[in-house]
Structure 1
């Protein structure tokens, strides 16, 4: 996220990207500026696994990949179908999700708690029923299995996309899974996976138990995701990113979704799209830069306090 990015006339690529991600063409809504505030370093370290993965533009693919995976759980799908405003306000829905990710990743623990509380309040009304293989089931967004599946799908998608289009992860994949487990705890998950192997084993368990399925609602969401309402170059770039998300999915989930890889060299083309996006976003400060302002301030305050405690010679 960053400083002013519009020129006279047509919005720049950076402005269009920031509008899609934060709802603001400058990338500095109040919740981004608040990353500079707070009295602690937050849950995740600068330069650690979570900061590294979430700072990469591979997250553009990961977001689509996570939505495709999450849609396979009929309870999660029922909540989307019954309550989500993704059709009427897809950008607003996107920026709401991005806001939570950014605040939890880069914010102080207090900001992460406030943001998690905001999401929890939105989820309070998300409840109803859906048809499962065993009959009609009631659901709530706070149900342990729904929270678990959403966390697993998010973690797998962001890790998988970074492994394909990002650089090395400090501490490796296990470090990302272990660190991001804290986000699951904030959302009420008691026992999130702590290793990559555990992550995949738990996801495979949903498949083995027959808890994931494709139906008309899933197909409807997939059609919308395939043709998300962007225009111009953003539309072309998005179609590449969607194809990349499909291509990067593990085969078992891609088959369940009824999707096939494009024969085009999508991995290479995606690398180009992400590189162009990274250059555009680098023309101004991003969310992590506001967070680093907080870290520098706290380090300065700590140094001042330490100096005050040092006895004079």
Structure 2
């Protein structure tokens, strides 16, 4: 996340929303977030025509994963929730470069999610194969408590998957609209279980009730280790300038609000209810509206719809305006 993104996100109000300015801001923020390489990646989503990939335009996954603020803050939340499993956190602590380049790690995760969500069948399968066959076999070791771990462990793969998609859905429902029906929530979990199983996860929950039961059953295994608390603190204080650090803190506060109540306190993310409701939530929702205004429509999402010979629906086109602006 660069200083340009921070300066834009941290402002309490957005300047005159003329069409030219809106285009300029969107271009600047997209370049800041994705860089030139990220913008070229959208070319991978154009072919072959008519290939729906793993999900397709009628899926709930395309709807949820198209929402920029929900995915961004849901992504931060998923990192926090995943860190509560000591073995998953040991793998991150011992094999990840998050302390020196946290944003690159987030971008790699985002690239995988976008590839499996919106890529053609070939692109999605290649992304899964790369992680399953080349990345995960290298990530193994011994946790501080003496237990061995492996990123290829089906049990850990299921934990990481559930924590991730549960937070993506929570982010969408907090910052996106229109809300999903109970049947659509279940369908989302059923859809995203497909790439999880391709990656090697087993006994993947496929409905909201199954996810709730899974999280309840997993709680005895969860613990906020020293590495987890240090990792969260590192991300919360990430940034080269005061403005950048303030923007990250704002996003992290919004992400923390997406976690289950029982997950915040062990990670030392507890804040008074009045602060969360009166300060954190409005600021995060304002940031969410700005992120949607600045980052949507996504070039990747738009290209995926073009591959299907379709136009993205309104909710994928930045339909909510930024604070103080009108739609145009």
TM range (shorter): 0.7 to 0.9
Task: Tell me which residue corresponds to 1:310.
Answer: none
Q: Is the partner of 1:248 in helix, strand or coil?
A: coil
From 164, 167, 174, the counterpart of 1:157: 167
What are the Cα deviations for residues 192-239 of structure 1, in whole angstroms up to 9, with x where unaligned?
1110010111111111xx211112111111101211226465543322
From 253, 262, 265, the counterpart of 1:252: 262
Query: Which segments of structure 1 move beyond 6 Å, counting only runs of 4 or more?
Result: none
Contact 1:23 1:95 in 2 (8 A): no
Task: Tell me which residue corresponds to 2:143.
Answer: 130
Matched, 1:51 2:51: no
- How many Å separate the matches in 1 of 2:30 and 2:238? 17
* TM score, norm. by length of structure 1: 0.82
- How many Å separate the matches in 2 of 1:185 and 1:237? 36
Task: Tell me which residue corresponds to 1:96.
Answer: 108
Q: Aligned-residue CA RMSD in angstroms?
A: 2.2
Aligned counterparts, 1:134-149, within 5 A: 136-149=146-159
Task: Tell me which residue corresponds to 1:279.
Answer: 293
What is the number of residues matched between the two proteins?
279
Q: Is the partner of 1:88 in helix, strand or coil?
A: helix
What are the Cα deviations for residues 175-196 of structure 1, in whole angstroms up to 9, with x where unaligned?
2111111121121113311100
Task: Tell me which residue corresponds to 1:109.
Answer: 121
Matched, 1:33 2:43: yes
- How many Å separate the matches in 2 of 1:13 and 1:236? 20
Unaligned 5+ runs, structure 2: 1-23, 311-328
Query: What is the Cα deviation at residue 114 of structure 1?
Result: 0.9
What are the Cα deviations for residues 148-181 of structure 1, in whole angstroms up to 9, with x where unaligned?
1101100111111212221123742112111111
Q: Is the partner of 1:139 in helix, strand or coil?
A: strand
Q: Is the partner of 1:193 in helix, strand or coil?
A: coil
Contact 1:243 1:261 in 2 (8 A): no
Aligned counterparts, 1:158-307, within 5 A: 158-167=168-177, 168-169=179-180, 171-207=183-219, 210-229=220-239, 231=241, 234-261=244-271, 263=275, 264-282=278-296, 285-296=298-309
Residues 1:261 and 1:52: Cα distance change in structure 2 (over 3 Å): farther
What are the Cα deviations for residues 226-253 of structure 1, in whole angstroms up to 9, with x where unaligned?
1122646554332211011112211111
- How many Å separate the matches in 1 of 2:35 and 2:201? 29
- How many Å separate the matches in 1 of 2:239 and 2:137? 29
Contact 2:70 2:172 in 1 (8 A): yes
Unaligned 5+ runs, structure 1: 1-11, 298-313
Contact 2:224 2:266 in 1 (8 A): yes
Residues 1:204 and 1:24: Cα distance change in structure 2 (over 3 Å): farther
Q: Which moved more, 1:102-111 or 1:170-179?
A: 170-179
